Structure 1
């Protein structure tokens, strides 16, 4: 019994030390909270109404701004009828919150909200995006800015520029055409090799064999 009491006291002491350290760290760290809602909506990015996937009603999603040393808490709500995910591209974080479904992080099922939380131990410009099927191509992506602890550059204004592709076609159909190895998109753009040149160079058989 005496030995048990000693072990119990040591355990309680160790626990109190850990909690004190954790409390001290959290007290010195700013927590930045974001709420992201992923939904399916009608969008018009290229002259035609099509179904896209939005984050907080927009494509791309909002820029998430932090400072190095912050503690990030991000709630991601899935309002779609299919599961989704968010991967924080380039960030050093606990593996569970990496956001690759069925590999590191559970998928976010329809109607569910997943809470991501992790310390920010770096600075720079990054991005986040879905790692589920081709949802990134449908609009589930956005930018991340983490300001360094100490400013090293002087500037008048900061502007985040997100460059992305958009197609009114379903992303799965685009992938299917690309995998076929044909010149469908070259024909549509008028940049494909003329059939007469293909025949002259003896490549007509290769065009048929795919």
Structure 2
């Protein structure tokens, strides 16, 4: 299901903030703006509470909530226990992949080189997160698509509304929106309407509208 939603929305949002008091309102703002896949990260305090609250209100906000910056098995298990619907790693980690497979949870493994892409797919990744995307650019992804035409690629890091469509044109399944859509300051201030509008702008850009 996660790939179907990513294929439709062409985007997911990674959220990094020192405090998120109302994660349900945040998810609702993003989903209503056209980005339903929301990745909270282990760099955010109380991420397990945030995920649990978001998942509990999923029928209200319509978002699919997962956890990123999963760097070891313990974090993977904690994220799944909190209700995460998918996991994301910054790089390759066989232990995280094993935990996710055992739980039947889809996961995105971070990779950059062709060898890393091959390893990610060998371990059962639903998609491969190209990170840091800003280091290589859309042309690099287009080259990767040559030997890996069937891999679902999701560039992450430095992608914004001005470059999103270029990544999709190069073969990305979806792209990751970060602080350009959902900043820590906007979350702190509860600026849900502003976040919704930023999500709408990014969504329009990624669809080439």
> TM-score interval w.r.t. the shorter chain?
under 0.3
Task: Name the structure where strand makes up a greater proportion of residues.
Answer: 1
TM-score w.r.t. length of structure 1? 0.26
State the TM-score, normalized to the length of structure 2: 0.26
Higher helix share: 2
Structure with higher RCO (Cα < 8 A, 6+ apart): 2
